[in-house]
Amino acid sequence: MIYLDHLASTPLDPLVLEAMLPWMRPEAAGNPHAAHPAGWRAADAIEQARGEVAALVGAQPGEVVFTSGATEANALALLGGVPAGGGGVVSAVEHASVLGCLPELRRRGHPVTVLPVDGAGRVDPAALDDALTDMRHSSIVSVMAANNEVGTVQPLAELAAVAARHGALMHSDAVQALGTRMLDMAALGLHGLSLSGHKLYGPMGVGALIVRPPFRPVPASAGGGQQRGLRGGTLPTPLCVGLGAACRLARERREEDARHIGGLRDRLWQRLRDRLPGIRRNGATDGLAGCLNVTIPGIDAADRLLDLPDLAVATGSACHSGVGEPSHVLLAVGLSAADAHASLRFGLGRGSTAAEVDEAADRLAALLAG
């Protein structure tokens, strides 16, 4: 298998697995919320992990709320964070876990605005300014740091500055950006940030919402009062430790990973462009290091990829592959439904190699030329 779908999920880094294993053995049993030595040991490990998560995004450990993943973190931020009587503003290219909150917000009586994007998938700060002016009441703005389909990086600092002028809270789904780009919440002016373990070479089933004052979302359920009452339930020590280790590795390897992965992305694009006349690139060229989204006019990407079962790439958002609907992101940046169906997303990662990139491009070109 040539795995080029790291934007959907990254393989667990061996060093992360090594950090988790001691907490998966019988002798490590202990509820981290229990008042005895076994519980205290687990709690200490979780607090160390909380510090690593916070360090990745320039936050304080006490601002980290562990969740089951970014989907839960986004829902907690949006459904729990819209102020009473306030509204929500999001972009048209947000992940489904953000857009999926909008019907419930509307049902609760909150006005919602969906901002358009340009042909690269970027939000115009002036459009946000207009939206918040029209809304005229307290709001939460949620714009992702980098898009999971076309890789475009949003101007978060500018957007947060606009939100601040209107007294709005600023949240960002930063799932895709943190592996190769530095994000400092305080410097950017963010009040909330969501991340996910399995997009950072960490374990599936764990993520975090970082909550900075004055942002304090209402929890989805009362639970048992854990995590300052923001998210109840017993924390999974191995998963939290794994997320902490993944965040530490991301902080240490971020620049090296960005150079390696970005070089492979450019190599893949050059090779595809040389072999497939008419191919077009979607999104901003200065976007995520590991993302390459292309349109090959006249093909049905999902159908043709059935002939390459050992090549793992995506034909749209990984969370919606197989449903037969064109990507909402590609439609938002101006592609037709036909061109959206003719598009492929390659996700390069830490373990990707030049040999894999070359073979993937050559085999795809040979298939489409046949």
What are 29's two structure tokens? 């049993």
Tell me how far apart the alpha carbons of residues 155 and 145 are, in angstroms, rounded to a whole number.
Answer: 8
Distances (CA, A) of 191 to 177, 183, 186, 300: 17, 13, 8, 42
CA distances from 315 to 75, 255, 302, 329 (A): 26, 28, 6, 12
Phi, psi of 73 (to 5 degrees): -60, -45
Please give the angle made by the CA atoms of 125, 8 and 290, to the nearest 5 degrees: 65
Helical axes 156-165 vs 125-135, angle rounded to 10°: 20
Closest CA to 190 of 146, 145, 220, 153: 145
Q: How far apart are CA 257 and CA 334, in angstroms?
A: 31
- Beta-bridged to residue 343, according to DSSP, are 295
The H-or-E segment that residue 230 falls in is none
Contact yes or no for 95/174 (Cβ under 8 A):
no
Separation between Cα atoms, residue 204 and residue 174, nearest integer Å: 16
Give the CA distances from residue 231 to residues 222, 227, 246, in Å, rounded to whole numbers and listed in that order.
Answer: 8, 6, 22
Phi, psi of 236 (to 5 degrees): -85, 105
Strands, sheet with 280-282, edge to edge from the N-terminal-most edge strand: 280-282, 291-295, 343-347
- The residue from 240, 247, 291, 319 that is catalytic is 319
Taking phi first (over 0 means left), then psi (-120 to 50 degrees means alpha), and beta for anything else, what does residue 278 get?
Answer: left
203, 237 Cβ separation under 8 angstroms: no
Please state, in angstroms and as integers, the Cα–Cα distance from residue 30 to each residue in 77, 96, 240, following that order. Answer: 30, 36, 14
Catalytic: 319?
yes
Active-site residues: which are they?
319
